[in-house]
Amino acid sequence: MNYLDKIKSQKCISLETYRKNNQPVKTPVWFVVKNNLIYVVTRSKTGKVKRLKNNSNVRIAPCTFKGKITGDEISGVVTILNDEEAKEVVKWRDKKYGLIAKIAKFFSKNKGEFFAISIKID
């Protein structure tokens, strides 16, 4: 079983992004696995977006909702998706997470527009 098959049923992954001084920042995020890639949706005014625009290298690992790592970490490279692709990823995420995703959408509105990435693991 490959890494993506192992994590696909998890609720959260830890997304490690890097500040300009290379200091790592780990954030628990929801995700969807499709087409051998990991997709993550966030909002455009979050810190991780700024960090991803400066450095597309990440590390991911399965984690709890609060960010406690529960499995193997692996490196990957991020691609920032366009608005059309982001809309599709939002649909996939909503299908996986259901009502809780709709609630999160409402409470995160003030953090900007949807922003989606794909992660290709190394």
Residues across the chain: 122
* Tally of structural domains, the chain: 1
The pLDDT tens digits of the residues spanning 22-59 come to 999 999 999 999 999 999 999 999 999 999 999 999 99
Determine the pLDDT at residue 99: 87
Determine the pLDDT at residue 79: 97
Spell out the residues 6+ positions from residue 6 whose beta carbon is closer than 8 angstroms to its own: 62, 71
Spell out the residues 6+ positions from residue 32 whose beta carbon is closer than 8 angstroms to its own: 38, 39, 89, 92, 93, 96
Q: Write the burial class of residue 54 (CB in 10 Å: 0-12 exposed, 13-18 middle, 19+ buried).
A: exposed
Q: Are strands 57-63 and 114-121 parallel, antiparallel or unpaired?
A: unpaired
Question: From its phi and psi, is residue 15 left (phi > 0), alpha (psi between -120 and 50) or beta?
Answer: beta
Q: What is the mean pLDDT of residues 4-30?
A: 96
The pLDDT tens digits of the residues spanning 112-121 come to 899 999 999 9
Q: Residue 87 belongs to what domain range?
A: 3-121
Determine the pLDDT at residue 29: 97
Domain with 12 in it: what CATH number? 2.30.110.10
Determine the pLDDT at residue 30: 96
Residue 86, Cα to own-chain centre: how many angstroms? 12
**Under 8 Å between Cβ of 51 and 18:** yes
The letter for the amino acid at 91 is K
The pLDDT tens digits of the residues spanning 68-104 come to 999 999 999 999 999 999 999 999 999 999 988 888 8
Confidence of residue 107 (pLDDT cuts 50, 70, 90): confident
Determine the pLDDT at residue 102: 80
Higher pLDDT, 107 or 22: 22
